[in-house]
Structure 1
């Protein structure tokens, strides 16, 4: 706790100093006094402290009172409190130059009446300072006990914030490390740019977890004590919440691992375990899988922190507050994303806020910011079917990345037809049809180092757009036009015919999928 002290003005109200006079530096009467010392020699440079009040009879400078000017200079440099002089015995008169210097630096120059012993002055001053400090310590302990009891009684952040706001008589906010408002008092009070505020970091286990913000710039000693105690108890509360959350996440992670591995659990077992972990059976789920640089998936990485914050924020904005989950599995990141049940009543959204988008749409902008990531999303399912959605997410990445080298986010719904085609090829041979339709193109590519099969696929996939095909292949539009003319010569077909488009689209897609196996 940083004890400020007592002002010079307050000390001058002591009965022992009722006859003392301020003869210079009146503008500095609100300087803080923390210490009192007696000057025995004129050379005080190097041992003055901030907040120090110096008493002197002037004996050591009786032959040259002008040395007091240098004393005032040194007091100013040390940000000391004041200079008190008993001049009658050794200095008949304080020079005007000294008074002018004290006025210049706002260092109070106090003339002490003769006959008052130093011991009486120092005793009364220190008693005042120590009494103030003791009172502040007592109040600090009371605040600490009151706030700590709130933590021990699990009163919650809102009650704690309300108590702190009442103590310091201004609004308070606790902000998470991602910038979200965890709590405010009064509740729902918004921070505006015009507000005058101060903030302090809140840490848990030496890690920055958020900020405590108060709605005023200047705080007195007691308010500063309240803020220091508030930081401590908010840290304790956030640590308690973190431990509880970490335990819950660990339990949910173990449960989800069982589901992802496809262990033989009955639907009833899944529903019962889910309920115990706050996962309601009616929720709809979909699995996302992210592949990429492993460093992105490490704890506290920028990507993982941003991803978890985004998922948490949008989970809370659903029709009902759901609990999604992010888990690392080997070299991949698995997202278990929940939405409310279709039977849930609609959630009232704030004015101007759009309806909640699908998870792939919500996460795509963030995923696009980080290079080298590929993400697949399985189809929606119930909790006991997440293993199927997990397999689908993996297939979405494999099939999607083979068919479109530029995309990084794939959904199983987009590639489901191609999966059926691959499944069917295990029982029915498509090689003869593929060779009949694009065999010549494939042979031409192998002999000439071209990629006409890929060009035809992208041309058909984009609905016959030369510009879009050129963009996907990173070539000029005229190059695509030339290739398409050559393709038509080789296969002898006109791709304006819808049936031809369909057949050749499937054949080229199947060729690309099998080629990459």
Structure 2
């Protein structure tokens, strides 16, 4: 830990070893911080300094060479040294006017010892002082952390943490939540507060404003931003550590509040379950939501289903899981109610923003979940999502739930064919599902693909694959051959066989549509049951 100790040149000059010292130039820079004291007698020092060193020298390295002396001072200035102390004696009897002017121009403290001093005593004294200050900083940090822990055990800890941060650093504190709620700890005019807020929000902080920022994070999500603004000088590393500890305490407080809130909402699971089963009227739903969240103005809804093989293993962490899901979607203007059943989570997503980009925001939330470190750490097996239809009528949730289940079912069985999470993107598979539920899908497949499937089964051929790709390429033979990685002559041979089996008119619009549905239906059945053979279809025809 490299804490920045606040020890200035001015403080060091009060030390007994500097009682015969005189500042001959750069008095305006006596506020410079000193991190170390260095004895140097060489003339090339730029590569030997890290910044904020107070340099001690007898001048033996340049022996009255004015140009070398000026170069040494310039190198010290360029290296951001804290100051230069020269012992007047046999090597340097006076400070050249050019050197004084150079130091004054850069507010670089130039100090002379008018009597002989022991540099070892100075370095030992200053280094001891630096170590004491460093230890004091660590003690202050530990004490501040203890005070934070005490505050966390009290009521309304958030406001108390912000007040503690302000009192400790004597700086302006801005706390901005994701919902846009702003808390300011400092007595400033309202107009000035609003101006600073706009600067922070737009990341347009003026160069002269000393600002430090820390995100308030929990469950790998940012819930708020915490800022400190210094009006008396630069923000030190110690100030940043105090800010960091405060942000962690705020996150702990926030997480506790979210957990308690989620536990309260867990008691509502029975009501949500009844809603999913269609047991509430539209008026009952709106009344309940108004009592639950007065600011909620639902503009439509949908149902999101989440399924994972090992969901039961983390059932004890379900509350944290819901907190995480909620944080993801609420940041995107989506209010969420949840229900768990076996290895499946059901979420009613209520749109609390404009309707035209609801789908986009839900998609963004799912992508964020799937890519998050929090979800990856849970080590879910086969995590899948399915989103039902969008509706403006909240009493239709039961129907929406079933459409989400259908989407999840298709996505699980045909991940390569259906990459979308949404029911509205099922397209032809909605017909496939309906035909399968009515028991007519196998006959339909047999009517339009029977000869092709029989041929492939008997010869280990690839006529079905060829037919599918040919239809996808809209009859373009070169493109079809390229995608199948075969020569054109082989494709012609396969097409002739297809003409023979299902007729040369299979590219006619209506017949083509029927064949495409049959292909999708066959893929659905064979994927749903890998042991399913076409012979099982032919026996029923």
TM-score, normalized by the shorter chain, greater than 0.5:
yes
Distance 1:458 1:397, change over 3 A: farther
Q: Which residue of 2 aligns with 1:109?
A: 112
Change (3 A) 1:361 1:202: closer
Shift of 1:504: 2.6
Is the CA contact 2:386–2:423 (under 8 Å) kept in the aligned structure 1?
A: yes
Q: TM-score, normalised by structure 2?
A: 0.54
Tell me the distance in 2 between the aligned counterparts of 1:472 and 1:155: 64
Q: How does 1:283-322 map to 2 (within 5 A)?
A: 284-290=300-306, 311-315=329-333, 322=334
Superposed CA offset, 1:439-469 (max 9, x none): 2111111112234335445655x48354899
Cα offset, 1:424, TM superposition: 0.9
Within 2, Cα distance between the matches of 1:459 and 1:161? 71
SS at structure 2 position matched to 1:323? strand
The one-character-per-residue Cα deviations of 1:353-403 (angstroms, maximum 9, x if unpaired) are x95554565468769989987542212356665455344323224335656
Q: SS where residue 109 of structure 1 aligns?
A: strand
Aligned position for 1:424: 438
The answer to whether residue 349 in structure 2 is matched with residue 337 in structure 1 is: yes
Output the CA distance in 2 between the equivalents of 1:468 and 1:287: 44
Residue 412 of structure 2 is aligned to residue 409 of structure 1: no
Q: Structure 2: how far apart are the matches of 1:208 and 1:362? A: 15
- Looking at structure 1, the residues matched to 182 and 484 of structure 2 have their Cα atoms a distance apart, in angstroms, of 50
DSSP-derived class of the 1:324 partner: strand
Which whole-Å deviations, capped at 9, do the CAs of 1:72-104 have from their partners, x for residues lacking one? xxxx9xx9988799xxxxxxx83334978x999
- State the Cα deviation string for residues 116-168 of structure 1 (Å, max 9, x = none): xxxxxx9xxx9xx99xx9xxx9xx99xx99xx89x96678699979979x954
CA separation of 1:281/1:198 partners in 2, compared to 1, >3 Å: closer, same or farther?
Answer: closer
Q: Which residue of 2 aligns with 1:511?
A: 522
| Gap runs ≥5 in structure 2 | 38-51, 64-75, 117-124, 184-192, 377-381, 530-541
Whether 2:87 is the aligned partner of 1:95: answer no
3-state SS of the aligned residue for 1:396? helix
In the TM superposition, what is the alpha-carbon distance from 1:492 to its structure 2 partner?
Answer: 2.0
Q: Look up the SS of the partner of 1:187 in the other structure.
A: helix
Q: What secondary structure, in the 3-state scheme, does the structure 1 residue paired with 2:331 have?
A: helix
What are the within-5 Å matches in structure 2 for residues 95-174 of structure 1?
A: 95-97=90-92, 108-111=111-114, 168=171
- 1:21 matched to which residue of 2? 22
Equivalent residue number for residue 498 of structure 1: 509
Moved more, 475-484 or 377-386: 475-484
Q: Secondary structure of 1:247's match?
A: helix
Q: In 2 relative to 1, CA 502–173 (structure 1 residues): closer, same or farther, beyond 3 Å?
A: same
Residues 95-494 of structure 1: pairs in structure 2 closer than 5 A? 95-97=90-92, 108-111=111-114, 168=171, 186-189=196-199, 190-192=202-204, 195=207, 199=212, 201=214, 212=226, 219=233, 230-252=243-265, 255=268, 259=272, 266-267=279-280, 274-278=289-293, 282=298, 284-290=300-306, 311-315=329-333, 322-324=334-336, 336-340=348-352, 357-359=359-361, 362=364, 375-381=385-391, 386=397, 388-399=399-410, 405-413=416-424, 414=426, 415-425=429-439, 429=440, 431-457=442-468, 460=471, 462=472, 464=474, 466=476, 470=480, 475=485, 478=488, 483-494=494-505
Structure 1 CA distance for aligned equivalents of residues 113 and 340 of structure 2? 71
* Deviation of the 1:112 alpha carbon: 7.0
State whether residues 326 and 336 of structure 2, in contact with CA within 8 Å, keep that contact through their aligned partners in structure 1: no
Matched residue count: 426
Going from structure 1 to structure 2, the CA distance change for 1:260 and 1:490 (only over 3 Å counts) comes to farther
Kindly report the root-mean-square deviation, in angstroms, between the aligned alpha carbons of the 2 structures: 6.5
Distance 1:267 1:239, change over 3 A: same
Provide the rounded CA distance (Å) in 1 between the counterparts of 2:383 and 2:487: 29
Task: Write the distance in 1 (CA, Å) between the matches of 2:331 and 2:478.
Answer: 35
* CA shift for structure 1 position 506: 3.4
Rounded Cα–Cα distance in structure 1 between residues aligned with 2:418 and 2:288: 37
